Structure 1
Amino acid sequence: MLRLVPDEERGERFNVGVVMLVRSRDFLGFRAQLDRAKLSALGPRLDSREIGEQLSNLRRIADGETGAGLMARLPLHERFHWLTAPSSTVLQPSELHTGLCTDPAMTLGALFNRLVA
């Protein structure tokens, strides 16, 4: 889970993305969506365009796009660990959770719909 933290001192945050790794299927999925109304209410001084670009860049890294820089060239599991490493920025990953699935893309979509959209 990727969360947006508009103001660390207030402790407010909301979900903006899901990152999922299934090594046995060679699958790294990333879906994100910025709720601009929530951002406007909780972090009116933050630039929604800039945050949208950051989310887009993270997706490009997860997808391994050739123009996305050095991180995008890493193996799947290393990209996953980079995307989910603790940080003190406005975009912060939650603690990791494990699970099992038979269809990674469908599970990613279901998690995204339940937790973000």
Structure 2
Amino acid sequence: MSRLAYQYVVLRCVPRVDREEFLNVGVVVYCQAADYLQVGWQVDDTRLRALDPRLDVDQVRDALRFVEGVCAGDDRGGAAAGHPIGQRFGFLKAPKSTVIQPGPVHGGVTADPADQLRHLLGCLVG
């Protein structure tokens, strides 16, 4: 069984940047050797609204759907989706001052990037 190097970032919802509070809402996994770039996400309305009752949770979901489009390389991801897979991951891991922000890049090895995404999503978001 071959072991493949991968990188991942946790996506955080930061409803109010001034308070520096966040909730993990997704994980992006990139494995160059497997040509794999996917996001898994889960939005808990109640927990997000505890941070900011005025938060537009539908806007958070729209932002995560945009990330899905970037990963898939389809129209949902706008211009960023048209780039090679490594550049798309670079776009997603770049710091942003929006409601959805990536955390630091982490790495590891796995035999199955999709299974690793499910594992990380369960541990870090779910």
Task: Give distance in 1, aligned partners of 2:124 and 2:27.
Answer: 8
Q: Deviations over 1:10-49 (max 9, x none)?
A: 2211100001110011111111111101111101111111
Larger displacement relative to structure 2 (63-72 or 86-95): 63-72
**CA deviation after TM superposition for structure 1 residue 67, in Å:** 5.1
Q: Which amino acid is 1:33 matched to? A: Q
Task: Give distance in 1, aligned partners of 2:60 and 2:31.
Answer: 27
- Structure 2 stretches lacking a partner, 5+ long: 1-9
Q: Which amino acid is 1:18 matched to? A: V
Query: Identity over aligned residues, as a percent?
Result: 39
Q: Which amino acid is 1:14 matched to? A: L
In structure 2, the CA distance between the partners of 1:101 and 1:37, relative to structure 1 (3 Å rule), is same
**CA deviation after TM superposition for structure 1 residue 99, in Å:** 0.8
Q: Do residues 39 (structure 1) and 10 (structure 2) align?
A: no
**1:87 alignment counterpart:** 96
**Moved beyond 6 Å, runs of 4+:** none
**CA deviation after TM superposition for structure 1 residue 68, in Å:** 3.4
Task: Give distance in 2, aligned partners of 1:92 and 1:43.
Answer: 16
How many positions carry a matched residue from both structures? 117
Task: Give distance in 2, aligned partners of 1:37 and 1:21.
Answer: 30
Partner SS state of residue 69, structure 1: helix
